[in-house]
Structure 1
Amino acid sequence: MPSTELHPDSTSPQVISVRPVTLAAPLRGDDLQVRITAPTEGTDLPVIVFAHGFAQSMAAGDPLVDHWTAHGFVVVQPTFLDSAALALTPADPRHPVIWRTRVDDLERVIEELDTVIAAVPGLPGRVDTDRLAVAGHSWGGQSVGMLLGARVLGADGRPGEDRTDKRVKAGVLLSTTGLSRGDLTPFAQEHFPFMSPDFSGLATPSIVVAGDRDQSALSTRGPTWFTDVYHHSPGARHLVTLYGGEHTLGGIQDYMSTATTDESPQRVDLVRRTTTAFLLKALGIDHAAWAEVASTAHDPVGRIDSK
């Protein structure tokens, strides 16, 4: 166990969280449920739409959500159809296209941001929806990546539909799967053929976070697989590499989670500080924020590369 446990900052501003906010989605089979968390004070608040990883839900990511809201962000979290909370099975006809439905869900949230914001007492009129970012972990990284300009290669090797959303001004890509160059495992080839991204069109300013010990069971490439989006997209400006970090990046999905295999409050803190500073600069809120955090480029728990 680490010597210093990670807890919410007791000195942080008060926040309010509402869940679920239900958005009608008749063609989806289940209405879309969303959580929204926001500071109780402040105006011109920017928005982060956060996409969870496989089988998780809108309840995931509190160590990040708490930090982002403490720094003035409104965070909106949809629950996707692959969530364990919905118990969808592979026999469900929606299952093969969940990866597309995830992107549809993100677009629905963005289209209906006013409805989501209205669910929080006192929040309407205090949010700047033009300052909009997306963030995602693991499968969520691929999902939000499509709004940033990534595409999926078809069986013919050609990029598929362009889902770039110009309303999105910045992105955070956490443990995001990389290119498919014949190194997907047989299981991944059979069950996740959509894991064939093309990052050449991902031009929206983004930050990438990866662990240098994140060995996926879906690829034979090793941890560098999760850095592909940084090396192969024009929009990925920075790469944060966590020393000893595995897929949960020290435990970003929950406090004291039993699913975390690399528990480290120090790693989580670096993820929180770098992503917050990047978003503050990318959204035009605090141009000095990134310069300050970049001075930790030789942090004992990780490094920052930029291009």
Structure 2
Amino acid sequence: MRFRDHALIGAAKDIPINPATPVFTFSPIVLPFPERHVDLELKVTAPPKGDAIPIILLSHGQGRSNHLNSLEGYTPLAEFWAAHGFVVIQPTHLSSVSLSLTGPAGQEYYWQDRAQDMTRVLDRLDDIEAAIPGLKGRIDRTKVAVAGHSLGAWTASMLLGAKNIDPRDGSVVNKRDDRIKAGVILTGTGNAGSDLSDFGKKMVPFYGPDFSELTTPALVVCGDEDVSPHLTIRGADWHADSYSLSPGPKDLFWVKGAKHGLGGISGWDTAETQDESPERLSVVQRVTCAYLRSALYGDKSWDEACKALEKLEQLGSIETKK
């Protein structure tokens, strides 16, 4: 975690945030699960001091990289959130390129197992705490959020209450976990059916989202230039469907000028980020952290961030529904 803000942080510095602390990272933690193709590997990032610390489960996307679609990715988010008061737990899902496994028909990208990984983490918090020196007894297990990017955003959405109705046979999958109290959906997937491109229908043949029961409070983050023709015939608004098609309470943060990488959330200076920007990344870090702090700590961080953004329209805008 950096001692000071990036020199190119720009106007993002005007979004208030609580003071940062140093963090430590511990990995890998390996949890055996006989029913899984390989054991579950985790990375945990946390502050070295403090008690009753809330948990953020962070689900990686798929992406094009060889390493970042695993526990190795999303350091810009994990370290920032941990520095501002959270224990961040990142699994390597079976879909990771680092494992190079092929999901069977109906389990493309191991989409169901991805959500199951997060439930496994919550079921094994005793083992996770015991594996990390100095962490035991410092986690507040009643305060849990889930965050995910891209395919990881669909993982998070399911845990928050969205269902999948397979268009091929009508089978319904519900992975909601009521231990999760809030979520951050980063450039999530939208409606299926006629909204998918022909390639998208082949890429995710299982995909049939129903957002009507996504009732857990969540912040949906979208880039206003995030157009994804490989998946949908619609524009950037497709990524906001988890906001527009779900009941409240929800908040939607449109990031100005952002594409799918949201300024670089998956890693530092990564080739797959088309909109690399320290300022844009800082905006996403600060706004998501403010939301999570208000959701899990109950402070005024979110109200303060929203008020600041009213004067920073060049960075983005927020919509809310109760």
- Residue 249 of structure 1 corresponds to 262
- Residue 8 of structure 2 corresponds to 4
Residue 94 of structure 1 and its aligned partner are, at CA, apart by: 8.8
- Residue 15 of structure 2 corresponds to none
- Residue 205 of structure 2 corresponds to 193
Aligned to 1:161, the other structure's residue is in SS state strand
Residue 95 of structure 1 and its aligned partner are, at CA, apart by: 5.4
- For residues 316 and 245 of structure 2, the distance between their equivalents in structure 1, rounded to whole angstroms, comes to 21
1:174 touches 1:210 (CA, 8 Å); kept in 2?
yes
- For residues 66 and 244 of structure 1, the distance between their equivalents in structure 2, rounded to whole angstroms, comes to 24
1:100 and 2:104 aligned: no
- For residues 168 and 109 of structure 1, the distance between their equivalents in structure 2, rounded to whole angstroms, comes to 12
Of 227, 230, 234, the residue aligned with 1:215 is 227
Q: How does 1:1-307 map to 2 (within 5 A)?
A: 4=8, 12-54=20-62, 56-89=69-102, 96=108, 98-155=110-167, 160-216=172-228, 217-235=230-248, 237-283=250-296, 285-295=297-307, 296-299=309-312, 300-307=314-321
2:24 touches 2:45 (CA, 8 Å); kept in 1?
yes
Residue 264 of structure 1 and its aligned partner are, at CA, apart by: 1.3
| 5+ residue gaps, structure 1 | none
Q: How has the CA–CA distance of structure 1 residues 15 and 97 changed in structure 2, closer, same or farther, with 3 Å as cutoff?
A: closer
CA displacement 1:153-202 (0-9 Å, x = unmatched)? 22278571222111000000000000114121222212302332110000
- For residues 161 and 173 of structure 2, the distance between their equivalents in structure 1, rounded to whole angstroms, comes to 10
Residue 89 of structure 1 and its aligned partner are, at CA, apart by: 3.9
- For residues 132 and 263 of structure 2, the distance between their equivalents in structure 1, rounded to whole angstroms, comes to 31
Q: How has the CA–CA distance of structure 1 residues 186 and 86 changed in structure 2, closer, same or farther, with 3 Å as cutoff?
A: same
Aligned residue type for 1:237: K
Q: How has the CA–CA distance of structure 1 residues 298 and 180 changed in structure 2, closer, same or farther, with 3 Å as cutoff?
A: farther
State TM-score, norm by structure 1. Answer: 0.92
- For residues 245 and 148 of structure 1, the distance between their equivalents in structure 2, rounded to whole angstroms, comes to 25
State TM-score, norm by structure 2. Answer: 0.88
Between 1:43-52 and 1:13-22, the stretch displaced more is 13-22
Large movers: runs of 4+ above 4 Å: 92-95, 156-159
- For residues 3 and 244 of structure 1, the distance between their equivalents in structure 2, rounded to whole angstroms, comes to 20
- Residue 16 of structure 2 corresponds to none
Which fold has the larger relative contact order, with Cα–Cα distance below 8 Å and residues 6 or more apart in sequence? 2
- For residues 44 and 168 of structure 1, the distance between their equivalents in structure 2, rounded to whole angstroms, comes to 16
- For residues 137 and 195 of structure 2, the distance between their equivalents in structure 1, rounded to whole angstroms, comes to 49
CA RMSD of aligned residues (A): 2.2
Between 1:248-257 and 1:169-178, the stretch displaced more is 248-257
Aligned residue type for 1:301: L
Aligned to 1:182, the other structure's residue is in SS state helix
Q: How has the CA–CA distance of structure 1 residues 227 and 105 changed in structure 2, closer, same or farther, with 3 Å as cutoff?
A: same
